[in-house]
Structure 1
């Protein structure tokens, strides 16, 4: 199971939110590239970046910061937040990002996402509140069931799906693995669990869940609930 350390960027700083509410942002670092290097040195292979400014503004406001992270590490980087057109995809890839996460556009324009998946390394982000897909930085909750959206991408060529339970995100209350496995089952695609990791037991449970290929770790690390040695020193 792959472990993805998370860096959420707001105004060039590393922050974490609670349930995706921007006003809840707590700053953890002013130097994201140094933090990314720490993850790399500990054994991380992947870094999960969310451009929170981009998610709300639809613009790559943290591109320079992301370029610094790329130059400071050898990490594979997946990034999401405001990636809604091919120009942005090309821009991130040319800066050294490994693959792109398409979230809001995955609901609003599935054909575009499927076309991009034929040309680039694409991950679909399905963020849900009470089982329904949320978009635009989670500011809007649609009437589309998350599992129905997942089915649309079966055999579409996307590399993975990231399943985030918004109610759990940043709350240190544990993963909603029932939700994650339901997305994996509906899509037939390797699914990454996101939202709520609190301790090592959550990682172990995720490693045993059917269809779960990885887990995103954020606030639990930043709040000192779980250390890098715990995360990367265990073989699951």
Structure 2
């Protein structure tokens, strides 16, 4: 299992949001590249990067910051998964060609699931679907809108598409330090038979242990953000626990 440290980009800086609200952003590092180095020297093998401005704009906005992270990651044999504003084939191919290991499709997976499924087929193992849920329903456009599609219904549409993983975020937990909704992510994995990454609300080692304990349901790892920045989660220990699982 994998621990994915999160680098969320807003206006060129590394931030964390509270429950997905762009007007409640805390800047943790003005240099995303420096933050990537801090995570990499601690032993992570993946980075989870999100272009928050891009998620709202529907196109890449923080490209310079992403490219700086990619350069550092490549020098250290670390993989990067990237989401936020990736909604067409040209953008997918551009990021994959620049060194992104896996792109995450969010809004477009809801708006045009046939396109997203075809992208999974065209790029086997390199497309993840981000399912950001509010009260069980999928949110889109940078979490600004809530659709009428349930998280489970959307995930199961990709059961036979060759998707690399589902990144499942409980928006009500994200950045709130209240604990991850591991049970919901495990149910999603079991229902659709897909590998799922837990995201949103990871607050400490208890959450990491819960993810590790639920591995048989189909969970393959967890994304951690604010808990790392606040020093409430030991990155080395979290990597070790999930790696052993």
Same fold by TM-score greater than 0.5:
yes
Q: Residues 36-47 of structure 1: matches in 2 within 5 Å? A: 36-47=36-47
Q: Residues 23-62 of structure 1: matches in 2 within 5 Å? A: 23-62=23-62
- In structure 2, what is the Cα distance between the partners aligned to 1:178 and 1:43? 27
* Secondary structure of 1:42's aligned partner: coil
**111, 131, 138: which one aligns with 2:136:** 131
**201, 204, 210: which one aligns with 2:209:** 204
Q: Which residue of 1 aligns with 2:71?
A: 71
Query: Aligned pair in 2 of structure 1 residues 233, 152: CA closer, same or farther (>3 Å)?
Result: closer
Q: Deviations over 1:154-192 (max 9, x none)?
A: 111000001100000001111111210121122211100
Q: Residues 169-180 of structure 1: matches in 2 within 5 Å? A: 169-180=174-185
Q: Which residue of 1 aligns with 2:91?
A: 88
> How big is the shift at 1:232?
2.8
**85, 102, 109: which one aligns with 2:112:** 109
2:171 is equivalent to residue 166 of structure 1: yes
- In structure 1, what is the Cα distance between the partners aligned to 2:34 and 2:6? 14
> How big is the shift at 1:233?
4.1
Q: Do the aligned residues in 1 keep the contact of 2:53 with 2:62 (CA within 8 Å)?
A: yes
- In structure 2, what is the Cα distance between the partners aligned to 1:132 and 1:110? 16
Q: Which runs of 4+ in 1 moved over 2 A?
A: 227-236
Q: Deviations over 1:127-168 (max 9, x none)?
A: 100000100000000111111111111111000001100000
> How big is the shift at 1:227?
2.4
Q: Do the aligned residues in 2 keep the contact of 1:34 with 1:72 (CA within 8 Å)?
A: no
Structure 2 residue ranges without an equivalent (≥5) = none
Q: Which residue of 1 aligns with 2:238?
A: 231
Q: Which residue of 2 aligns with 1:99?
A: 102
- In structure 2, what is the Cα distance between the partners aligned to 1:218 and 1:53? 17
Q: Do the aligned residues in 2 keep the contact of 1:148 with 1:186 (CA within 8 Å)?
A: no
Given the two structures, how large is their TM-score scaled by the length of structure 2? 0.93
Count residues in correspondence: 236
